[in-house]
Structure 1
């Protein structure tokens, strides 16, 4: 697992490149905030997490399948990731931040629609998950 990229993944790069092209300015992986959000838009008091479907347990997604090998380890690992995500999102909301989560599968399935929706969420102030 030490070789798994946790930062600057392809989906994150796609989202950041899009946001920059639309004039949004952001910070990356801000450690001062709970959960170290992938993208922070201070002007909009919004954070964006670009989650990998497997690592964050995206139920109902074709990219998330419970591993058969070492099943107990993976169940504990992924469930703890899910609980951590919930806890950190709540901390951010309690501090007045808007939290947007984009799933890897959304970008793979319909990148343009996902990115356009993201712009609307940021500007319109809609909370999304």
Structure 2
């Protein structure tokens, strides 16, 4: 029994494929612990946290699994003396075992430098009878 749809939403499949490719590239260049810095580790942990939040909406079973991963990432942050994430599960561990909502919190957004032309870019429109050189 297939519990997930066969077709992803607009852009989801492409972004997931790009994420998988980048993860493989990161693994290839950072295969030794000596190649990591504290900032690089924090960025990678944040990327995994954000990916876990995205996966949590894929299916109810995924949400439970991603909550566990979020808790493990919060513990990793603590062991490596990284600052806590705004969307980590660290603050929930000591709570009075109250029922947690199924909706994960929104990830922290850091301003990044813009790359490329953006998702709305549709190319240049050249009127018929004209060439790209303007003649």
Normalising by the residue count of structure 1, what TM-score does the alignment of the two structures yield? 0.28
> If each structure's strand is expressed as a fraction of its own residues, which one has the higher value?
1
User: If you compute each CA radius of gyration, which structure gives the higher value, 1 or 2?
Assistant: 2
